[in-house]
Amino acid sequence: MSLEDLEQRCLAYLKQVSRPLAPVDAVLAYLQREEGTDISRQELLEFLRRHELFRVIEPPWGDAGSGQGQELAELGLPVGPYVILCTRVPAEDESRALMIEQMDSLIEALESALHEAERAGDMQRCQGVNALLERARAIRRRLLESR
């Protein structure tokens, strides 16, 4: 796949998604649907980071290889970098509202995971999820206070 083709396919995907911030893994899956596409996640990330039309955003918890990232991945939550079209980068207030919305979704998912761990009697998992919940709630509070 040529760089021009890669650029056009990334643009097409990011223009049509409902949420401007898309997981890089979702973009990669979209690209790999076409036969003959043999780009790796790392190659895609390098391309997106160097390109002036895209902005790669790293989540505060790191990727799936980090401690908290791995715990989130085990819970089935998206981890890893996200990408957004520079033309779709929201204003500061919109960004904050979007981050609060995403933190609300994360907190809801973590609360569900905590209930499942409690029902299963998995105290180790309960402790891990509780630690993640505390951190997510603290981040959400900071976002609300920065308004």
Given its phi and psi angles, is residue 76 left (phi above 0), alpha (psi -120 to 50 degrees) or beta? left
Residues 85 and 124 in one domain: no
Across the range 4-26, mean pLDDT stands at 91
Query: What's the domain range around 143?
Result: 90-147
Residues 1 and 63 in one domain: yes
Residues 116 and 85 in one domain: no
Quote the pLDDT of residue 99: 83
Residues 22 and 56 in one domain: yes
Quote the pLDDT of residue 90: 75
Q: Which of 25-29, 93-97, 135-139 has the lowest mean pLDDT?
A: 93-97
Residues 82 and 99 in one domain: no
What's the Cα-to-Cα distance from 53 to each of 10, 14, 15, 16, rounded to whole Å? 10, 11, 12, 15
Across the range 38-42, mean pLDDT stands at 90
Say what the pTM is.
0.60
What the block records as the tokens of 46 is 């390098």
Residues 76 and 131 in one domain: no
pLDDT-derived band at 138 (thresholds 50, 70, 90) equals very high
What the block records as the tokens of 11 is 């643009």
Residue where a domain terminates, one of 89, 105, 131: 89
Q: Write the CATH number for 7.
A: 1.10.10
